[in-house]
Amino acid sequence: MSLKTYREAINEALRQEMEANDRVIVIGEDVAGGAGGSAGGAEAAGGVMGITAGLATKFGRDRVIDTPITESAIIGMAAGAALTGMRPVAELMFADFIGVCLDQIYNQAAKFRYMFGGKARTPLVVRTMIGAGMGAGPQHSQAIYPILTMIPGLKVIVPSNAYDAKGLLIQAIRDDDPVIFCEHKGLLGDSCEVPDEPYTIPFGKAAITRKGDALTLVGMSRMVKHCNEVADRMKKDGIDIEVIDIRTTSPLDAATILESVKKTGRLVVVDEANPMCSVASEISSIVASDAFDYLDAPIKKVTAPHTPVPASPTLEALYLPTPAKIELVVRELLDY
Amino acid sequence: MRTIREFEERLHQEFQSGTVPGFLHLYSGQEAIAVGICEQLEDHRDYIGSTHRGHGHCIAKGVDVKAMMKEIYCKKNGVCGGKGGSMHIADLDKGMLGANAIVGGAPPLALGAALTAKTLKTGGVAVPFIGDGAANQGTVAESMNMAAVLKLPMVFMFENNGYAEFTAASYATAGSIEARAKAYDIPAVTVDGADFFAVYEASREAIERARNGGGPSAIEAKAYRFWGHFAGDPQRYRAPNETKELRENHDCLKHFAARVTQAALLDQAEMDAIDVEVMQLIEDAVIEAKADDQPDPQSLYNDVYVSYN
């Protein structure tokens, strides 16, 4: 056990799974970095954010494969390799680029097991980066996971911390279905205690990160950090907020959320994605359907507005949910 | 080739009677292409990726004809349990990665099968079948580039049957498909798709190159589509005598029969015996498909996720 960043935890998960199983390969743009360059093919990058750094040196370029910038071919190739016996981890640099290769994800990989009568296994992991907060503008900042969550046949993972990132990624690599693993670029440098040995965290099991009975705060990805901050601040006022990190949007652990709401009677869902047809709206719908009698107040969502992500840091700050905005809604609901 | 032809011609009849659900895209006329290359592929280490016009590819790669027929009827014992239907037949045990209802969907998947073969050093080859319409999809360009860059063991089999749905290739395809492959430094040839021997020979060379580490090749087979884009297509885009002319002068089965009898490889009686056997197989397949059960209602929910017990 030692302090590791989210970036290091992901790198370690990849390294340990590649050591354990030589069918695990990494495919993507610049995942080794420097292929064919004038430096003689030295490992120059490790992906745009350095997450795969060191893997090419350790495992060779036959297992850490730099590709042309051609997302349909990358994801399709990874899906085909998964279908024929490999366990590929494809890096889709930014989740925003999913439009380019969505066909290969939702018409191909997500459908194989079902439309081939249960006989296909597609142990494919697509690692991709989500999230605003860096001034990267409308095409490099989206939290696009609701689009993927609504597709049957995909599992969608949204880790909020380094410990979960490692355990969930190892689970993803060992899983026999296509998994979309959404890394938040705003969390890459955050650290926490992470075991050195490999371990897994099952999908569809939410984590209760703060115990409480006044209100249930459900978050995902980077928003969990904000939710915890709000709960810690309110605890000083003697108010115990329960925080649930759903960890995976599909499968979704509705049971833990319902159990908590039955105890607290109040729900706020915090989601960085746009609000329409989102994970936040799905959770709200489930609770409204299955725990209506327990509610003491309306369900509230704190999300981005229904706009693209602006590049201006001033506007982007207004776009993103913040601990202050969450606290405001929480206090309003407690007074309801 | 005869099995594919009878399978397709019979399906056309059955479709008109209203017993076949969904869409049906028939392969009649193009048999020599599927058989010419698949004859040289092995079940376990070689893969094909197919198209929405995929029955011929499936049969040529050895998928069970009766299970296919049941699948097209969307029945319980179909090769995909009735969940795939005509456009999504797959049998991984036979190296058949799936018919693919998305135009241009298969080439990236075939890249993956070729990457597996290269990584595990199986000596296997992956063959995506690509229509002239799909040739214009970005996925095909991406796949040719990727295959060439990674030197993957592949044969890109382009079947140019002259029409992408209803629009002529002469209108929609700029330049030539062969030249496009060559632009990626991929060796490419054009052959007559009604000539089994020409397809076989070009495929033999390409497969050998792939197995020996020589990377991808491309073949453009000029193909002849006897039916419309789908069963029921009124084909107003074709001149009235066009399909008649194709059936008379570009029938790969007639061509094959002439060649083998001339060379005294098979006599008429032997070919007739094959035809009788095929007719019986197709008859049985249709009878069994119609009699097969509907899928279990519970199977609607199966096979979406692995269960975590």
User: Which chain B residues have a beta carbon less than 8 Å from that of A62?
Assistant: 119
Does residue B88 sit at the A interface (CB-CB below 8 Å)?
A: yes
What pLDDT does B309 receive?
43
Provide the pLDDT confidence category of residue B155 given band limits of 50, 70 and 90: very high
In B, minimum Cα distance to A74 occurs at B108
Question: Does B153 score more than 90 pLDDT?
Answer: yes
- How would you classify residue B88: left for phi > 0, otherwise alpha for psi between -120 and 50, otherwise beta? alpha
Question: Does A135 score more than 80 pLDDT?
Answer: yes
What span, in angstroms and rounded, lies between the C-alpha atoms of B103 and B90? 16
What span, in angstroms and rounded, lies between the C-alpha atoms of B302 and A89? 25
> What average pLDDT does range A37-65 have in this prediction?
89
What pLDDT does A36 receive?
85
Tell me which residue has tokens 């799936």: B98
- Phi and psi of A128, rounded to 5°? -150, 160
Q: What is the DSSP string of A271-317?
A: ESS-STT-HHHHHHHHHHHHSGGG-SS--EEEE--SSPPPSSHHHHH
Compare A42 and B217 and report the one with higher pLDDT: B217
Question: Does B206 score more than 80 pLDDT?
Answer: yes
Three-state secondary-structure class, residue A181 = strand
Tell me which residue has tokens 């194709």: B246
What is the tens place of the pLDDT at every residue in B273-302? 999 999 999 999 999 999 999 999 999 988
What pLDDT does B307 receive?
60
Say which of A79, A120, A202 has its CB closest to residue B112.
A79
Chain-chain contact of A203 with B115 (C-beta, under 8 angstroms): no
Distance of CA B64 to the CA centre of its chain: 15
Percent of the residues in chain A that have a pLDDT greater than 70, as a whole number: 100
The length of chain B is 309
What pLDDT does A48 receive?
87
Three-state secondary-structure class, residue B174 = coil
What is the tens place of the pLDDT at every residue in B11-46? 999 999 998 999 999 999 999 999 999 999 999 999
Residues 170-199 of A with CB under 8 A from B: 175-177
Does residue A247 sit at the B interface (CB-CB below 8 Å)?
A: no
With a CB cutoff of 8 Å and minimum separation 6, the contacts of A292 are: none
What is the tens place of the pLDDT at every residue in B40-76? 999 999 999 999 999 999 999 999 999 999 999 999 9
- Phi and psi of A165, rounded to 5°? -60, -45
Does residue A253 contact residue A287 with C-beta atoms inside 8 Å? no
Chain-chain contact of B110 with A80 (C-beta, under 8 angstroms): yes
In the predicted model, what is the mean pLDDT of chain B? 95
Say which of B100, B112, B120 has its CB closest to residue A83.
B112
With a CB cutoff of 8 Å and minimum separation 6, the contacts of B272 are: none
Size of interface A-B (CB pairs under 8 A): 151
What span, in angstroms and rounded, lies between the C-alpha atoms of A77 and B139? 11
What DSSP character marks residue B154?
Answer: B
What pLDDT does A40 receive?
75
Does residue A62 sit at the B interface (CB-CB below 8 Å)?
A: yes
CA-based end-to-end distance of chain B: 47
User: Which chain B residues have a beta carbon less than 8 Å from that of A84?
Assistant: 47, 92, 97, 112-113, 116-117
Min Cα separation B5/chain A (Å): 24
Does residue A291 contact residue A264 with C-beta atoms inside 8 Å? no
What is the tens place of the pLDDT at every residue in A69-78? 999 999 999 9
Say which of A73, A82, A112 has its CB closest to residue B108.
A73
Distance of CA A219 to the CA centre of its chain: 12
Catalytic annotation, residues of A: 140
- Phi and psi of A268, rounded to 5°? -125, 130
Tell me which residue has tokens 């725990």: A291
ipTM of this model? 0.90
User: Which chain B residues have a beta carbon less than 8 Å from that of A117?
Assistant: 78-84, 303
Count of C-beta atoms within a 10 Å radius of residue B236: 8
The per-type count for chain A, helices as H runs and strands as E runs, is 12, 14
What pLDDT does B306 receive?
65
Which tokens belong to A85?
């016996």
What is the tens place of the pLDDT at every residue in A87-101? 999 999 999 999 999
> What average pLDDT does range A10-34 have in this prediction?
96
- What one-letter code names the amino acid at B90? A
A124 closest CA partner among A150, A90, A149, A152: A90
Say which of A25, A115, A177 has its CB closest to residue B88.
A115
Which tokens belong to B170?
């002469």
User: Which chain B residues have a beta carbon less than 8 Å from that of A73?
Assistant: 108, 111, 139, 142-143, 145-146
Three-state secondary-structure class, residue B89 = coil
Does residue A81 contact residue B46 with C-beta atoms inside 8 Å? no
User: Which chain A residues have a beta carbon less than 8 Å from that of B110?
Assistant: 80
Provide the pLDDT confidence category of residue A35 given band limits of 50, 70 and 90: confident
User: Which chain A residues have a beta carbon less than 8 Å from that of B138?
Assistant: 72
Percent of the residues in chain A that have a pLDDT greater than 90, as a whole number: 94
Buried b (16+ CB within 10 A) or exposed e, A134-169: ebbeeebbbbbbbbbbbbebbbbbbbbbbbbbbbbb
Chain-chain contact of B115 with A80 (C-beta, under 8 angstroms): yes
> What average pLDDT does range A258-273 have in this prediction?
98
Which of B305, B307, B308 to substitute to test the interface with A, most A CBs within 10 Å? Answer: B305
> What average pLDDT does range A308-322 have in this prediction?
95
Chain-chain contact of B120 with A120 (C-beta, under 8 angstroms): no
Chain-chain contact of A119 with B145 (C-beta, under 8 angstroms): no
Tell me which residue has tokens 């994800």: A105
What is the tens place of the pLDDT at every residue in B98-117? 999 999 999 999 999 999 99
Say which of A70, A103, A251 has its CB closest to residue B305.
A251
Min Cα separation B276/chain A (Å): 32
What is the tens place of the pLDDT at every residue in A178-221? 999 999 999 999 999 999 999 999 999 999 999 999 999 999 99
Chain-chain contact of A76 with B111 (C-beta, under 8 angstroms): yes
Which tokens belong to A10?
């992901």
The pTM of the whole model exceeds 0.90: yes
What is the tens place of the pLDDT at every residue in B156-196? 999 999 999 999 999 999 999 999 999 999 999 999 999 99
Chain-chain contact of B90 with A88 (C-beta, under 8 angstroms): no
Q: How many CA atoms lie within 13 A of B185 on its CB side?
A: 9
Does residue A36 sit at the B interface (CB-CB below 8 Å)?
A: no
> What average pLDDT does range A36-54 have in this prediction?
85
Chain-chain contact of A84 with B112 (C-beta, under 8 angstroms): yes
What span, in angstroms and rounded, lies between the C-alpha atoms of B12 and B39? 25
